[in-house]
Structure 1
Amino acid sequence: MLSLAACAAVRAAPKSATKVVYPLHLGSYDARYDYDWLVLRTALEKTVPAFGPFTMQQFGEAMSPQRVAQELVLPHGRINIMARAVSPEFERDDLPIRIPIDKGLLGYRVLLVRKDDLPRFARVRSLQDLRKLRAGMGKGWADVAVLAHAGLPVVEGSAHENLYAMLMANRFDYFARGVDEAQWEIKEYGARFPQMAIEPTLLLRYPLPRYLFVRRDTEGEGLAKRLKAGLEIMVQDGTLDALFRQHKGPIIEPLQLDKRRLLTLANPGLQDIPQQRPELWYSPGGK
């Protein structure tokens, strides 16, 4: 039988710290994940009273997005979390926390086009009109299936960086990019491709939530439970909305999304998207 002192020691034993190791992405691409890791840290902080302390560190070796996904699937991979747009593959291989950390913003798409083609796009009024033009996408991206399902012609490129050159070489007519991707890419690649522009009149929308994913094992299940609890707290107390407005608002405002023609597409490959919870989703101008 345990002595009273031993029982007290057991009761007082501190909870072991939750260990989170998140990836370092290649080059300047890594800065685009700063918001994701801020949301992650905040969710962990919100759950300290219920789940105990945590450590959060970035893995030191830079990796491509493909390598990040591979590491998360490995039983002893060097990271245990990633932030990515949902896909059937990730939902099968990893454990998603089904609260969109970007409030679904990634599913709103503006178009990178050639400046000479701006008048052509200004005449687009429907998906039927858009079907006369060719989209460019990376090979195997989740967006390819979405656009193809809508009957939109798609040209696939083997590498992300090649798509801008392909656009300017007339291999396709537009590159549909996330709201917070397009402006960054104009700054990053605009000097090389000065005739590339963000089309000002159209907005595509399809369900493409950005989730936190963890490994499908016992440790991952515990981490997922904690992060789900933390994100729910952030939704309820307004923290997620506040971070979204602070970090995404300055990106959204110049694009005037609420004044664009909205073309809505289905995303047939996804399941269990919490669309019945409007508090989780961004909606420009209440559209």
Structure 2
Amino acid sequence: MAGTSPTRRRFLEGTLSGCLLPVLGSADARAAPQQIVYPRHIETMNERYDYDWLILRTALEKSVPAFGPFEMRQLDEAMSPPRVTQELTLPQGRINVLARATSPAVERQLLPVRIPIDKGLLGLRVFLVREADLPRFGAVRSLADLRALRAGQGKDWADVNILRAAGIPVVEGTFEHLYSMLMAGRFDFYSRGVDEAPLELREAQAQFPRIALEPSLLLAYPLPRYLFVRRDAEGERLARRLTAGLESMVQDGTLSALFRKYKGPIIERCGLEKRRLLSIPHPGLSPDTPLHRPELWYRPPPAK
């Protein structure tokens, strides 16, 4: 697997090492391994999901003593994020788990496991902008200033309603056209998650060299990224297993350790401690969101 990152190589090695070991004392120890099938996203999107599948794998491993063995594999066919969600809604869908940002519509269709696997990092947003507009954004001091600028977002993304509810104008487009729309002046900034922006900037600058990462602002709102399963009996069993595994990861520090290892360098690259924090609410957030549990969320360092 030349050229493959160490994290990615772990996912491509097939059946997980250790997941088929018999578990003494477990009622499910001699049962057939539980089959876990997760999606393969379109190639330009696939690498950014590796952390999600590492968290999924670790949660399943943590739950082996109580829930028995498992086999985990990735679907062969690559699909777009909307297609992935649709696949999980089908009674005979080929996947039985996915990771994505939550929204009221998605929670009506699918069953969320309410532990944010990225500790809420997706709700911390930085902006991709036209290089010539950097001084314009450097002058933004408040939400009122930001409302004078137009955001670009993907069609039907959860962020669209959040931004509009805060009075920020939004122009929607398809993912593959948002960069060209930005450079054509259709909107003023492309709001991306802290762990999305550096990777996307690297890809986009090959075609659009005058796109820049805005260095002074950080927009924050609660946007948990959950594991979702199908709303049926099998999905409910899997949700119980994943909840138990993730809770174990929270309690023994594994989730925080993996977050620091895989997200820490990206957070550092974005220089969050140097940015002005602008916070807005998420009006569609479920009341069941565990905002009362600070150990589940990453808090950006205070600006110096």
| TM-score band w.r.t. shorter chain | over 0.9
Are residues 1:221 and 2:236 paired?
yes
Residue number in structure 1 paired with 2:99:
83
Q: Structure 1 235/286 Cα, relative in aligned 2: closer, same or farther at 3 Å?
A: farther
| CA distance in structure 2 between the aligned counterparts of 1:193 and 1:35, rounded to whole angstroms | 27
The alignment's C-alpha RMSD in Å is 1.2
> Structure with the greater relative contact order (CA < 8 A, sep ≥ 6): 1 or 2?
1
d(CA) in 2 for partners of 1:234 and 1:35?
A: 14
Matched residue, 1:104: 120
CA contact (8 A) 2:28 2:67 kept: no
Residue 37 (structure 2) aligned to one of 14, 21, 26: 21
> What residue in structure 1 maps to residue 175 of structure 2?
160
Cα contact 1:18–1:223 (8 A) shared by 2 = no
SS at match of 1:116: helix
**Aligned mates of 1:12, 1:251 — CA distance in 2:** 40
Q: Which has the larger radius of gyration?
A: 1
The residue aligned with 1:62 is 78
Deviations 1:240-273 (A, max 9, x none): 0010001001111011112210000111111121
Query: Match for 2:242: what amino acid?
Result: L
Match for residue 278 of structure 2?
263
Structure 2 distance, partners of 1:155, 1:68, is 24
Percent pairwise identity: 66
Q: After TM superposition, give the deviation of residue 284 of structure 1 in Å.
A: 1.3
Name the CA distance, whole Å, in 1 between partners of 2:166 and 2:28.
59
Give a deviation string over 1:141-198, Cα, whole Å, max 9, x none.
11110010000111111x1010100000011100100011110111111111111001
Runs of 4+ off more than 2 Å: none
1:262 match: secondary structure = strand
Check 1:174–1:60 CA distance in 2 against 1; reply closer, same or farther (3 A cut).
same
- How far, CA to CA, are the matches of 1:97 and 1:85 in structure 2? 12
Residue 178 of structure 1 corresponds to 193
Letter in 2 for 1:229: A
Tell me the secondary structure at the aligned position of residue 285 of structure 1: coil
Structure 1 unaligned spans of 5+: 1-10
Task: For residue 67 of structure 1, report the CA deviation from its aligned partner.
Answer: 0.8
Secondary structure, aligned partner of 1:117: helix
The one-letter code matched in structure 2 to 1:228 is T
Distance 1:221 1:283, change over 3 A: same
Q: Give the structure 2 partner of residue 135 of structure 1.
A: 151
Aligned to 1:195: 210
- Partner amino acid for 1:193? F
Contact 1:81 1:214 in 2 (8 A): yes
The question of whether the paired residues in 2 share the 8 Å contact of 1:107 and 1:207 is answered with: yes
Q: In structure 2, how many angstroms separate the alpha carbons of the residues matched to 1:62 and 1:255?
A: 30
Q: 2:68 maps to what in 1?
A: 52
Residue among 110, 115, 120 paired with 2:136? 120
Please give the TM-score of this superposition, normalised by the length of structure 1.
0.94
Residue 86 of structure 1 contacts residue 210 of structure 1 at CA under 8 Å; is this kept in 2?
Answer: yes
**1 CA distance for matches of 2:31 and 2:105?**
34
Does 2:245 align with 1:230? Answer: yes
Q: CA deviation at 1:224?
A: 0.2
Q: Describe the shift of the 1:168–1:278 C-alpha distance in structure 2 as closer, same or farther (beyond 3 A).
A: same
Q: 1:278 Cα shift? A: 0.3
Q: How many pairs align?
A: 276
**SS class of match (2:175):** coil
After TM superposition, give the deviation of residue 12 of structure 1 in Å: 9.4
Structure having the larger proportion of residues in helix: 1
**What is the DSSP-based 3-state SS (H/G/I as helix, E as strand, rest coil) of the residue aligned with 2:168?**
coil
Q: Taking structure 2 as the reference length, what is the TM-score of the superposition?
A: 0.89
